[in-house]
Structure 1
């Protein structure tokens, strides 16, 4: 065969190979590439959506965290105020109790003082009677001289 015939046969074989490739090989490759491009595009879209959702979630988390901090601060302030109020109430009750105890102690001391004065008056009166008895060398009758003894008690 001549070089021209070989060249023509090679061209025909090349054309058949091109046609076969275009008809049977190229469409599955193109479909696979298109499918892959679609998957990549879907993945990028999903990543964009996920990024937006993540940003929104972070905003919500920050808002909730801020609200929780505010709530905790309010609760802490309320607890501190309640504690201060309880302390003030306890101080007031303690002051009232202290005042009651002091008043009771003063009243008791006053009663004891009155009792002590009465006992002292009685003893002074008895001593006066004994002294007078010693001076007069005879017994003074308490029933007969009751008025005198009463006057003596009040003077003392």
Structure 2
């Protein structure tokens, strides 16, 4: 009977131990396990959402990069067009300035030519008059000399 009483005492102790564990130890452990499972599930959901957001961000980043490249190319293109226009404007302005300088030079040449002609005529007239005076001094016929001088002046 000793053996039975010991076994019965151990069985009762074991049942009380199990009952105490089920009442006070098991519920907090299951609650912790359930909380951990919920945390892991939420973490997985957050990870999936984060990976989707990362893909979206990569796609948006690539789109923004493409847009930036396009706008940079457009700016370069506009700069090239503006440079070409400035060069064309400068060439046109150079041509106008060249034409103005040539016209001014031609006007100066023509003015100098006319001034020289006037000077030559005046000088020639003086020479003719001087020659006429010498002829008059030699010849006393003034009418013939006068006709000669008038003829010389008309020929100039």
For this structure pair, what is the TM-score category when the shorter chain's length is used for normalisation? 0.7 to 0.9
Change in Cα spacing, 1:96 to 1:51, as seen in structure 2 (3 Å) is same
Say if 2:128 and 2:149, in contact at 8 Å, map to a contact too: no
Where does 1:5-154 land on structure 2 (aligned, <5 Å)?
5-137=5-137, 145=146, 148-149=149-150, 151-153=151-153
Normalising by structure 1, what TM-score?
0.85
What do residues 2-57 of structure 1 show as CA deviations (whole Å, max 9, x unaligned)?
Answer: 23311220111012111221232112111111111101110111111011101101
Give yes or no for the alignment of 1:3 onto 2:3.
Answer: yes
> 2-side partners of 1:153 and 1:135: how far apart?
16
What do residues 55-89 of structure 1 show as CA deviations (whole Å, max 9, x unaligned)?
Answer: 10111011011101111110121122112101211
Give yes or no for the alignment of 1:155 onto 2:143.
Answer: no
Change in Cα spacing, 1:120 to 1:20, as seen in structure 2 (3 Å) is same
Say if 1:125 and 1:153, in contact at 8 Å, map to a contact too: yes
> 1-side partners of 2:68 and 2:26: how far apart?
61
Give the secondary structure class of the aligned counterpart of 2:13.
Answer: helix
Higher relative contact order (CA 8 A, sep 6+): 1
CA apart distance, 1:148: 4.4
**Stretches of structure 2 lacking an aligned partner (at least 5 in a row):** none
Looking at secondary structure, tell me which structure has more helix per residue. 2
**Stretches of structure 1 lacking an aligned partner (at least 5 in a row):** none
The count of residues paired between Structure 1 and Structure 2 equals 152
Normalising by structure 2, what TM-score?
0.85
